């Protein structure tokens, strides 16, 4: 059968490719972002309790009310946002579905959607599936900070939406209050909608605060704020996330959501709602990961890898230019293959986050790992 691909330029995601290679070669997997330690045992216990209590049929289409209420309450306490749990919160099958569904809900064929490169790999194919035109604006090379002049120049009467992501995957940069203020001023005279991917909201280091779009009324009125319980509670395999958006946007979102997944598995929603009653796990997550970041950075500082800043997320980027091996001159993607096979440490090339494969000699490690895993990786990396 001749099939005309909807995504002719897309292969298998780099995360899947590198995790498969790491498994095949038994390398330490610092590639795909996920913890190698388990979640709080209270969580699976709460899922069992919910199942035993009979929460095994479809939940309400937008999500279990207790979970939506817990989410609305958290947005109020942390970001000062007044959120209506009934009309403005929807539970999704992870942030991935949230972003695709938001785009399908708002993008008409030919509408432009701006992404800031490097960006998470699902954004561009999602925009294309929605019939949109991708407009790529680079973050400042070297620092990965937003370039507002370039962003302003990219906005046209056809711009339907902008996708932002802070804390940022892959660079680990965190947008400042001043960045959000500037974005608010820039978008104020426009009709541009905002998709704010905040899945790493609880991993912000060195005393910085997460600048959620929900804190800025001029942004929140036009925003889909996307969260993921996978990151926050060490359960990436559960695939449960949320979208918080004004009622009118949520109404459109749910029109698509109901025919996309209809709803998300019930027992896990009950478990997450129960778990959210205690804010400690997410309030302490930044300190938890900052310690791992510091341990990993201290080790890397003894190697020839050149450290880039990591202000948030569970990612650390490094420049490979100064390594003492000839493979340092390979393209990033090939270098990562070599590093996995021959050195026994998997990483992700930053070129995978650019449409044109821009190669700046930088690769990304995930440090959401047990200390022993990080030490083993560091030992291997110190040989280069």
Angle, nearest 10°, between helix axes 285-301 and 371-381?
20
**Shortest separation between residue 273's beta carbon and ligand PMP, angstroms:** 17
- Region from 38-46, 92-100, 102-110, 135-143 binding ligand PMP, contact rule CB under 6 A: 92-100
d(CA 253, CA 246): 10
d(CA 353, CA 342): 24
Site for ligand GLN (CB under 6 A): which residue of 22, 33, 144, 161? Answer: 33
The interface partner of residue 13, options being ligand PMP, ligand GLN, none and the CB cut-off 5 to 8 Å by kind, is ligand GLN
50's CB contacts (< 8 A; 6+ apart) are: 266, 267, 268, 270, 271, 274
Structure tokens at 204: 């912000």
Report if residue 340 touches ligand GLN, rule: CB under 6 A. Answer: no
d(CA 198, CA 164): 9
**Shortest separation between residue 276's beta carbon and ligand GLN, angstroms:** 22
Kindly state the greatest CA–CA separation across the chain: 60
Site for ligand PMP (CB under 6 A): which residue of 63, 118, 132, 230? Answer: 230
3-state DSSP assignment of residue 145: coil
Report if residue 195 touches ligand PMP, rule: CB under 6 A. Answer: no
Q: Which is nearer to ligand PMP, 97 or 340 (CB)?
A: 97
Site for ligand PMP (CB under 6 A): which residue of 25, 49, 236, 260? Answer: 236
Residue numbers 115-154 binding ligand PMP by CB under 6 A:
120
The interface partner of residue 25, options being ligand GLN, ligand PMP, none and the CB cut-off 5 to 8 Å by kind, is none
Report if residue 96 touches ligand PMP, rule: CB under 6 A. Answer: yes
The interface partner of residue 197, options being ligand PMP, ligand GLN, none and the CB cut-off 5 to 8 Å by kind, is ligand PMP
Site for ligand PMP (CB under 6 A): which residue of 169, 171, 173, 286? Answer: 169
The counts of H helices and E strands in the chain are 16, 13
Per the DSSP assignment, residues forming a β-bridge with 312 are 204
Report if residue 165 touches ligand GLN, rule: CB under 6 A. Answer: no
Structure tokens at 232: 């926050």
Site for ligand GLN (CB under 6 A): which residue of 17, 22, 29, 32? Answer: 32
| Cβ atoms 134, 115 nearer than 8 A | yes
d(CA 318, CA 363): 6
| Cβ atoms 37, 54 nearer than 8 A | no
| Cβ atoms 33, 16 nearer than 8 A | no
| HEC string for 237-299 | HHCCEEEECCHHHHHHHHHHHCCCCCCCCHHHHHHHHHHHCCCHHHHCHHHHHHHHHHHHHHH
Give CA separation, 291 vs 106, 165, 177, 230, in Å. 40, 23, 24, 20
The interface partner of residue 32, options being ligand PMP, ligand GLN, none and the CB cut-off 5 to 8 Å by kind, is ligand GLN
Q: Which is nearer to ligand GLN, 81 or 204 (CB)?
A: 204
Site for ligand PMP (CB under 6 A): which residue of 29, 90, 165, 303? Answer: 165
> Using CA atoms in the order 33, 38, 39, 43, what is the torsion angle rounded to 10 degrees?
130
Q: Which is nearer to ligand GLN, 29 or 286 (CB)?
A: 29
Report if residue 13 touches ligand GLN, rule: CB under 6 A. Answer: yes
Helices (H), the chain: 14-25, 42-52, 65-79, 85-88, 94-106, 123-129, 148-154, 177-187, 217-220, 229-232, 247-257, 266-276, 280-283, 285-301, 332-338, 371-381
Report if residue 351 touches ligand GLN, rule: CB under 6 A. Answer: no
Report if residue 15 touches ligand GLN, rule: CB under 6 A. Answer: yes
**Shortest separation between residue 122's beta carbon and ligand GLN, angstroms:** 7
Report if residue 227 touches ligand GLN, rule: CB under 6 A. Answer: no
Residue numbers 283-302 binding ligand PMP by CB under 6 A:
none
Report if residue 288 touches ligand GLN, rule: CB under 6 A. Answer: no
**Shortest separation between residue 23's beta carbon and ligand PMP, angstroms:** 18
The residues binding ligand PMP (CB under 6 A) are: 33, 94-96, 120, 165, 169, 197, 199, 228, 230, 236, 239, 241
- List of residues contacting ligand GLN (CB under 6 A): 13, 15, 32-33, 169
């Amino acid at each position: 059968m001749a099939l005309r691909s909807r995504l002719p330029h897309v292969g298998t995601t780099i995360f899947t490719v590198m995790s498969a290679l790491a498994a095949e070669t038994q390398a330490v997997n610092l590639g795909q972002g996920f913890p190698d330690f388990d979640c709080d045992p209270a969580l699976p216990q709460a899922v069992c309790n919910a199942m035993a209590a009979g929460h095994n049929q479809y939940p309400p289409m937008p999500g279990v009310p207790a979970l939506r209420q817990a989410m609305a309450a958290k947005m109020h306490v942390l970001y000062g946002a007044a959120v209506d749990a009934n009309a403005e919160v929807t539970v999704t099958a992870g942030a991935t579905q949230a972003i695709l569904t938001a785009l399908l809900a708002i993008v008409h064929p030919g509408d432009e959607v701006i992404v800031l490169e490097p960006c998470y790999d699902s954004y561009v194919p999602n925009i294309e599936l929605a019939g949109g035109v991708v407009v790529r604006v680079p973050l400042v090379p070297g620092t990965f900070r937003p370039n507002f002049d370039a962003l302003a120049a990219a906005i046209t009467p056809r711009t339907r939406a902008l996708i932002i992501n802070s804390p940022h995957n892959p660079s680990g940069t965190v947008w400042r209050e001043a960045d959000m203020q500037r974005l608010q001023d820039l978008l104020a005279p426009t009709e541009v909608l905002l998709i704010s991917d905040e899945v790493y909201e609880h991993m912000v280091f060195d005393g910085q605060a997460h600048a959620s779009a929900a804190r800025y009324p001029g942004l929140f009125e036009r925003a889909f704020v996307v969260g993921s319980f996978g990151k926050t509670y060490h359960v990436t395999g559960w695939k449960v996330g949320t979208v918080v958006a004004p009622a009118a946007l949520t109404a459109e979102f749910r029109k698509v959501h109901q025919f996309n997944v209809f709803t998300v598995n019930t027992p896990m929603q009950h478990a997450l709602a129960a778990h959210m009653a205690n804010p400690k796990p997410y309030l302490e997550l930044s300190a938890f990961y900052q310690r791992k970041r510091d341990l990993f950075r201290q080790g890397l500082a003894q190697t020839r890898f050149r450290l880039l800043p990591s202000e948030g997320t569970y990612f650390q980027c490094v420049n490979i230019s100064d390594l003492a091996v000839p493979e340092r001159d390979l393209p990033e993607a090939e270098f990562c293959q070599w590093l996995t096979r021959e050195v026994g440490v998997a990483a992700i090339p930053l070129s995978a986050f650019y449409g044109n494969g821009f190669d700046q000699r930088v690769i990304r490690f995930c440090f959401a790992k047990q200390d022993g895993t990080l030490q083993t990786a560091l030992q291997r990396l110190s040989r280069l």
